[in-house]
Chain A
Amino acid sequence: DTGVSQDPRHKITKRGQNVTFRCDPISEHNRLYWYRQTLGQGPEFLTYFQNEAQLEKSRLLSDRFSAERPKGSFSTLEIQRTEQGDSAMYLCASSFRQGYMNTEAFFGQGTRLTVV
């Protein structure tokens, strides 16, 4: 399967614990995005990488959230001191920049986080 892969698919954690999610993008894609989606809403942008550089971060993202993309390959999203409001589906997507145009983004299956 050469699509976007996310791990784990489901995570249940206690409030206050730290969690880390992993995303493996499509191999030739140089752009990687993280989104958060709650029930009945569309995906909400969190952050964006081009290769290993984090170029944009949503102002909605508190300092408890951090993302990395070492060597421009896989990416991790860490949430520290989780809160019940962090419960959501966390989606990763990747795309390829070709000149001025950005090709469409392909999404992974997401990681469903439940904070109890």
Chain B
Amino acid sequence: EDQVTQSPEALRLQEGESSSLNCSYTVSGLRGLFWYRQDPGKGPEFLFTLYSAGEEKEKERLKATLTKKESFLHITAPKPEDSATYLCAVQATGGFKTIFGAGTRLFVK
């Protein structure tokens, strides 16, 4: 069964303290892996799509990487406005649905 597991569940960082969020996935065939940011009471906001192992994408203080089994979202020198829940999702070949992990709640103080 296709599955996405994110760790840690919550992460507290000091402003400027870089760290990484992990997304482990099990899927029969990967069509794409997505990262979203979600603020409380709002819908997820798209950040990145990764399609194949070795691919990397960057946006401001965020960098997403992909291997055959997991993806990392690296946050460099975070600011308080980066506080949010970060969701990882995969879409498998042969289907249409996107499977989400439970998310990592990031707090930057």
Contacts and interface: CB of A to CB of B under 8 A. Distances in A.
A109 B42 contact: yes
A44 B98 contact: no
- Describe B's contact surface by its main secondary structure: strand
A21 interface: no
A112 B41 CA distance: 9
Given A102-B32, A104-B49, A110 B43 contact: yes
How many residues of A sit at the interface, in one of the four size bands? 20 to 34
Contacts, number: 58
B16 interface: no
- Describe A's contact surface by its main secondary structure: strand
Given A42-B102, A102-B91, A58 B44 contact: no
Contacts of B89: 42-43
B87 A56 contact: no
A112 to B, nearest CB: 8
Contact of B97 (A40, A45, A101, A109): A45
Interface of A: 4, 31, 33, 35, 40-45, 48, 50, 55-56, 58, 91, 93, 101-110, 112
